Amino acid sequence: MTSLAHDRFRSFLEGHREFLILSHIDPDGDAIGSCLALARAIRAMGKEATVVNDSPLPESLRFLPHADWVERPNEVAGRAFPAVFVLDCSSLDRVGADAARLVAPGVAVANVDHHAANDGFGDPRLVNVEASSTAELVYEILEACGVTIDAEIAECLYAGVASDTGAFRHPNTTPRALRLAARFVERGARPARTAEALYGRKSEASLRILGLALTSLEARSGGQVGAITISREMFDRAGAIPEDADGIVQFAKSLAGTRVGLLVSEIAPGEIRLSFRSDGTVDVNEVASRFGGGGHKNAAGARLRGDLRQIHDQALEALDRAVNGGLPPSAG
Ligand SMILES: [Mn+2]
């Protein structure tokens, strides 16, 4: 981190007594791990930190120290927060409509993120697309502020790095990510427990929705694209909610020979989520942006309203163009 960004974050932390900490809807281990690590550090400074997320906390993240600190927007309605941290979000609206209402016009907003599509909101800002995870950047800030990394902070930051690198399997598994992970383990993070919580435990509903989802598997674009589709009816039959389908996109990508995996799911009537995973040879951030979404080169998503079958066809068309030699120029 540059000493300038470092100074700005130090004065941001010194200049306020009370902080709201937000992250994106449908939070993952990096989003929640980063929020909880920062909240614990701020509370250790004798200040107040409130963590809010627009979505319910996924079961797999409840093992994190102080997971019970994560509140829903309605639980803090009416409170005014003079300073806000927005973590792991490429734009402010990624926090969700209800959480965004907690950010009053004119309050100080800090932006800490590693998404390529970050639109540069907020001040101070620490945006680094080279970072494996937002947890890595939160660590830089805490280190620059002289915060002691205790076992609980270490566990949360480790979960962030482990989660965003897909348990150290994705191309963002850099030497720095591995060194930091080792440092967090030295400070008390528990890799086996984290891996078990993040990947080794599935609810009955999530195993049932996986079973139904796999029956929809298609190999498209001459086998370069693997696609899985989950309809409302399948969610109902499995007794599952959209969070139960988290991670199923990996099965689409795991089909031998594919370069891209796609999951199309109808998360509410007429509301469709697209999840893309790439092997690194296709920029799915660009494909997702064509559907109003975004993310990273190798992992991206979008949410839109419309007909499941129609959006499924459009997504596969866009991927077909992407895998067969690049996308045509944007219209207009
Ligand atoms: Mn992240």
Query: Where do the structural domains in the chain lie, given as residue ranges?
Result: 3-200, 204-323
pLDDT number for residue 296: 87
Q: Please, what is the average pLDDT of the chain?
A: 94
How far is the centre of ligand 1, averaged over its atoms, from the C-alpha of 204 (Å)?
27
- Rounded to the nearest whole angstrom, what is the distance from the C-alpha of residue 133 to the centroid of ligand 1? 5
- Å from CA of 161 to ligand 1 middle: 8
Express each pLDDT in 112-137 by its tens digit.
999 988 999 999 999 999 999 999 99
Q: How far is the CA of 111 from the centre of ligand 1 (A)?
A: 13
pLDDT tens for 62-116 read 999 999 999 999 999 999 999 999 999 999 999 999 999 999 999 999 999 999 8
The predicted structure's pLDDT at residue 246: 86
Tell how far the Cα of 157 is from the centroid of ligand 1, in angstroms: 11
Predicted confidence (pLDDT) per residue in 244-274, tens digit: 998 899 999 999 999 999 999 999 999 999 9
Distance 32 CA to ligand 1 centre (A): 10
CATH of 204-323, one of 3.10.20.30, 3.10.310.30, 3.40.630.190, 3.40.50.720: 3.10.310.30
- Using one digit for the tens of pLDDT, what is the confidence trace for 221-241? 999 999 999 999 999 999 999
Cα-to-centroid distance, 242 and ligand 1 (Å) = 20
pTM of the model: 0.82
The alpha carbon of 53 and the centre of ligand 1 are apart by a number of angstroms equal to 15
Please tell me the distance between residue 299's alpha carbon and the centre of ligand 1 in angstroms. 10
Backbone angles phi, psi at 110, to 5 degrees: -105, 140
Rounded distance from Cα 222 to ligand 1 centre (Å): 32
From the CA of 326, how far away is ligand 1's center (Å)? 26
The answer to whether residue 327 scores a pLDDT higher than 50 is: no
* d(CA 114, ligand 1 centre) in Å: 6
Query: For residue 188, how far is its CA from the centre of ligand 1 (angstroms)?
Result: 22
User: Is residue 329's pLDDT more than 50?
Assistant: no
**Ligand 1 centroid distance, CA of 164 (Å):** 6
Query: Which residues, by Cβ under 5 Å, contact ligand 1, an ion?
Result: 30, 88, 133-134, 164
Identify the residue with better confidence: 199 or 15.
15
Could you tell me which CATH number the domain at 3-200 has? 3.90.1640.10
* Within this chain, domains 3-200 and 204-323 share the same CATH topology: no
For ligand 1, the distance from its centroid to the CA atom of residue 134, given in whole angstroms, is 5
- CA 131 – ligand 1 centroid, Å: 9
- Return the pLDDT at 200: 87
Question: Mean per-residue pLDDT for 271-291?
Answer: 96
For the residues 177-182, what does the mean pLDDT come to?
Answer: 98
Angle at 169 between CA 61 and CA 325, to 5 degrees: 115
* Residue 303, strand partner residues: 273
The stretch 177-196 carries a mean pLDDT of 98
Confidence (pLDDT) at 326: 53
Under a CB-based contact definition with an 8 Å cutoff, are residues 49 and 165 in contact?
no
